[in-house]
Amino acid sequence: MDISVTSNTITIHGDIKSVADYQAIKSAVDSIKDTHSAITLKIVDSIFITSSIIGYLNRLRLKDKIEITIEVATPQLIELFEDLNLTELFTIQRVNDA
C-alpha cells in the first residue's frame, strides 16, 4: 500500500488489509486533521477496508466533527459501505480514476 497526502486529501494505492496499513492511514489522517475540518480519502485500488479504519473514521466524524469524503474506484468497496449503512455518515463518491 502507498499513501500520499496533498492538502486535505489522502490518496491510497494498493490493498488495505493489515494493521500496518491502518497505522499508516491513521498517521496520515492525524497529520492533517488538526488543520482541516474536511478530509478526503481517495481509495484507488482496494476492494475492502479494515474495521479498525472504519472505526477510526467513525470517531473522527462523530466525535471530532470532521467531514469525511471517501472517493472509491472499486464497486466492491462502494457496496461494502452501502451494506454497512455508512453512506449517510460519510460522503461516498464513486470515481473512475481516484
Where residue 84 sits, what CATH number does that domain have?
3.30.750.24
CB atoms within 10 A of CB 43: 25
| Closest C-alpha to 75, from 56, 58, 51, 92 | 92
State the average pLDDT for the chain.
Answer: 93
Tens-digit pLDDT profile for residues 16-57? 989 999 999 999 999 999 999 999 999 999 998 999 999 999
Residue 81 class from Cβ within 10 Å (0-12 exposed, 13-18 middle, 19+ buried)?
A: middle
**Residue 26 domain boundaries:** 2-94
Domain total of the chain? 1
C-alpha R_g of the chain: 12
